[in-house]
Amino acid sequence: MRKRLIAAVLSTGISTAAALALTAPPAAAADSPTWCGSWLPDPAVASNQRTVPGTTGAVGPGQHIMVREGTYQGKWYAWAKLVNGGMTDLVALGWINQSNNQYYNCGSHDGSSGWAQRYYTAGVDDAHAYKVQAKYKHNAVQYGPAVVWR
């Protein structure tokens, strides 16, 4: 039920947090499994980098999150980016897997955590992810807009 609700909500562009507030008890998407698929540990090496349209969201004064995309060795990758973040801010990429409709988090560049302490996450390839959104955590989790990707 929760997986179908998240998938339905992501297809409408409503934040996952708002959707999960409708379930009882709410299970935060922030607690979803950590997996980056066939991931790209350092998206800085990707070429053709650009922001995925419709994924930018404000998270604080002068701060925003977005999903970026680029190519590396013939594959497209998506990753979350935080602009003007502070030392204790975290960023994550929330994504839905094409093969099982499961919601996952991708964060640290070594794949050990669903959150990144840098200003960008590892990248998830387009063979796995079909819906993506950036997530931000300081005192609470905030979600950027979710979009169908690639």
Domain range annotation of the chain: 2-148
**Which residues make Cβ contacts (< 8 Å) with residue 58, sequence separation at least 6?**
64
Residue type at 124 in one-letter notation:
V
- Tell me if the pTM is above 0.85: no
| Three-state secondary structure call for residue 43 | helix
Cα–Cα dist 127/124, whole Å = 9
- Whether pLDDT at 59 is above 80: yes
pLDDT digits (tens, 9 = 90+) for 74-104: 999 999 999 999 999 999 999 999 999 999 9
Q: Are 82 and 137 in contact (CB under 8 A)?
A: no
Q: Are 84 and 62 in contact (CB under 8 A)?
A: yes
The pLDDT of residue 89: 95
